[in-house]
A = this chain, B = another copy of it.
Amino acid sequence: MAVIINEALLKKAEELKRPLKKHIVYPEKTVKIINDKNAFQELRAIADKKISFPVTLSAGDEIIFDFNDHIVGYVSFSLDNDGLVKITDSPVKLQFSFGEFPLEITASPEEYKGGLGKGWLQNEERSYVFTPCEGSLERRYSFRYLRIKRTDNAAFPIKLSSLKVCTVSAVDIKDAPVLKTDDEILKKIYDMSIKTLKECEQDVFEDGPKRDRRLWIGDLKLQAMSDYGIFGNLTLIKRCIYLFAGATGKHKMIAPCIFPDSPPFVDEWTFCDYSLFFISCLYDFYKNTGDISLIEELFDTAYRQMEAVSEKIDKNTGIINLHPFIDWCPDLDKKTAILGVYIYTLKQLKELGELLGKDNKKTEAEINTASKLLLSFYDEKTGLFTTPSGQISEHSQVWAVLSGVLRDEQAATLCAKIKDIKTPFTMRTPYMMHYYIEALYTSGLKNEALEFIKNYWGKIADAGFDCCPEIFNPENEFESPYNAPEINSACHAWSCTPAYWLPKLLGE
């Protein structure tokens, strides 16, 4: 078994679990979803009726309830009959379909051919033998729209006499600071971002509350970084760091993700950039709290991430023989970018080592070696980084900038031209775009960073999202890493970093 469990750390993670905050919310109106070529994914939800309970449902009826905002929670409802003499004489069957966005409601589950398990499709069918009755679905759903369709064939009507959702989150949106700006677009982007952050804060920092509902360290790094200034949920950040440290994969590498239920499960495979980001999580924790005790406790685990990667570097070719994530860009040669990640995180490790008075020789040597290797992929002529296979990608440039191997003016020049590179290997996810924004920021290109956020996330807002989606390509609204856009997550933690950047960029 390649998984290494540290019970003491997992116990600490368990002790940091807190009850979730709950709110009861009700649908505001019903909508119809119509085809509209000008709308995102060619679908538009248009207001139908203001809701007045009870709502009558006859066989075959379907109603789409709109909760007016993205919610994460548990549905419950009451069914009643039509009075003493119009009784429910056979069981009522109701089909529930949940959607964060209209396509999720209209796509047929029978035709689903996506690469992810179809169990993620948010639909259920239930039967209710007698009315009146109280119904509830035990699964937690993430949605704005809920379609209820009566699928039995009995002649009597029934009444849906109430419908509510108990929403859950570790934090309360009203505790987030208000963004000081008059720019309505930036306000909207900020609101979407803090909403996304909130929706993903549950028993752990989830990547997405609809799917995969688990703790990924690539997401955690960005969520925690954003959260210090928004909700300041240090308990949850610490809990998640302990979870990763408490259940590591082979060679004691930090797992890419943790399944939150007890005992925490981890996947056997790793992403080496994700493992290295454990260092960043510790680094950011110290930077934001000044608390050194957690760093002392987990420094060795962080240090081990360097060692594990170090063992796999071919010092001749500069190739790290491990799999990184970097981004969802098909056929991307990630070898240059991962060197950048390695240097970026090792510089943080070095700083932590200095803080603790550790021997930093190995770290420094690794930084030097890796920096030389990375610079060997720099083409003085074009001023761009390439890869061992000769590929020019946006990703290589971004991570080269973030590694700090270039002189400041070199970095700024490179950074300024990233978006002008003619290459099919472009950033695909808001996750990768965060690192682009960081590269702009550290290169002093703050206006460009703000403009990029306003442009890209502004289009997300225009498309009608309530939160920040996992993936958003204005050129292809049906893009999906899973070949099924309906399974895409419309509320995804790694896209929420405007919650970090906007206060920073506007406050300076």
Q: List residues of chain B with CB within 8 A of the CB of A127.
A: 119, 124, 139
Interface residues in A266-304 by Cβ distance below 8 A to B read 266-268
Query: Does chain B have a CB within 8 A of A390?
Result: no
B125 lies within 8 A of A265 (CB):
no
Interface of A with B (CB < 8 Å)?
Answer: 1-3, 5, 81, 83-85, 87-93, 116-120, 124-127, 129-133, 139-140, 152-154, 211-213, 259-261, 263, 265-268
A17 shortest CB reach to chain B, Å? 15
- Copy tally for this chain in the complex stands at 2
Q: Determine how close the nearest CB of chain B comes to the CB of A169; give it in whole angstroms.
A: 17
Q: Is the CB of A85 within 8 A of B126?
A: no
Q: Is A119 a contact of B1 with CB atoms below 8 Å? A: no
Known pairs A84-B266, A119-B129, A125-B125 / 8 extra A-B pairs, C-beta < 8 Å: A2-B85, A81-B265, A84-B263, A87-B259, A87-B266, A90-B119, A118-B153, A131-B261
- Write out the residue numbers on chain B whose beta carbons fall within 8 Å of the beta carbon of A261: 130-133
Report how far A348 CA is from B124 CA in the complex, Å. Answer: 53
Measured between beta carbons, the chain B residues less than 8 angstroms from A129 are 119, 139-140, 213
The reply to whether B139 and A119 contact each other, CB–CB distance below 8 Å, is no
Q: How far is the CB of A1 from chain B (nearest CB, A)?
A: 6
CA distance A87 to B88 in the complex (A): 42
Least CB separation from A91: chain B residue = B119
Q: How far, in angstroms, from A153 to B110 measured CA to CA in the complex? A: 12
Rank and list the top 9 A-B pairs by shortest CB-CB distance, nearest first: A90-B117, A91-B119, A117-B154, A119-B152, A85-B268, A87-B265, A3-B84, A130-B261, A90-B119
Please, which residues of chain B bring their CB within 8 A of the CB of A118?
90, 93, 152-153
Q: A92–B118 Cα gap in the complex (Å)?
A: 9
Chain B residues whose CB sits within 8 angstroms of the CB of A139 once the complex forms: 91, 127, 129
* Most chain B beta-carbon contacts within 10 A, residue among A87, A88, A119: A119
14 contacts between A and B (CB under 8 A): A1-B85, A5-B84, A81-B265, A84-B263, A84-B265, A85-B268, A87-B266, A89-B117, A90-B116, A90-B117, A90-B212, A91-B119, A93-B118, A119-B152
Query: When chains A and B are docked, how far (Å) is the Cα of A458 from the Cα of B92?
Result: 37
Q: Most B CB atoms within 10 A — which of A90, A92, A130, A133?
A: A90
A123 (CB) vs chain B CBs: closest residue: B127
Is A119 a contact partner of B132 (Cβ separation < 8 A)? no
Q: How far is the CA of A158 from the CA of B388 in the complex (A)?
A: 42
Bound together, the chains give a CA A261 to CA B81 distance in angstroms of 12
* Contact A85 B130, CB 8 Å, known A118-B153, A120-B90, A125-B125: no
Q: Which of A116, A129, A259 has the most CB of B within 10 A?
A: A129
Q: CB-nearest residue of chain B relative to A249?
A: B85
Shortest distance from the beta carbon of A337 to any chain B beta carbon, whole Å: 26
> Within the complex, what minimum Cβ distance (angstroms) separates A388 from chain B?
31
Taken together as a complex, chains A and B put the C-alpha atoms of A116 and B263 apart, in Å, by 47
A273 to B261, CA, bound (A): 59
- How far apart sit A333 and B130, CA to CA, in the bound complex (Å)? 34
Q: Which residue of B lies closest to A90 (CB)?
A: B117
Chain B residues with CB under 8 A of A83? 1
The reply to whether A85 and B266 form a contact with Cβ atoms under 8 Å apart is yes
A1 to B263, CA, bound (A): 58
Residues from chain B with Cβ under 8 Å of A259 in the complex: 87-89, 130
Residue of B154, B213, B260 near A119 (CB, 8 A) is: B154
Q: Which residues of B contact A260 (CB under 8 A)?
A: 130
Do residues B1 and A84 form an inter-chain contact, with CB atoms below 8 A?
yes
Specify which chain B residues have a CB less than 8 angstroms from the CB of A265 in the assembled complex: 81, 84-85, 87
* A125-B125, A261-B130 known; A85-B152 Cβ under 8 A: no
A314 to chain B, nearest CB (A): 28
Measured in the bound complex, the distance between the Cα atoms of B259 and A45 in whole Å is 40
Given contacts A3-B84, A266-B84, contact A152 B92 (CB under 8 A): no
A123-B130 Cα distance, complex, nearest whole Å: 16
With beta carbons under 8 angstroms apart, the residue of B93, B126, B212 that contacts A89 is B212
Inter-chain contacts of A152 with B (CB < 8 A): 117-119
Residues from chain B with a CB closer than 8 A to the CB of A268 are: 85
Q: Across the interface, which residues of B come within 8 angstroms of A132, CB to CB? A: 261
Residues of chain B within 8 A of A84, CB atoms compared:
1, 3, 5, 263, 265-266
Closest Cβ of chain B to A470, distance in Å, is: 15
> Across the interface, which residues of B come within 8 angstroms of A88, CB to CB?
259
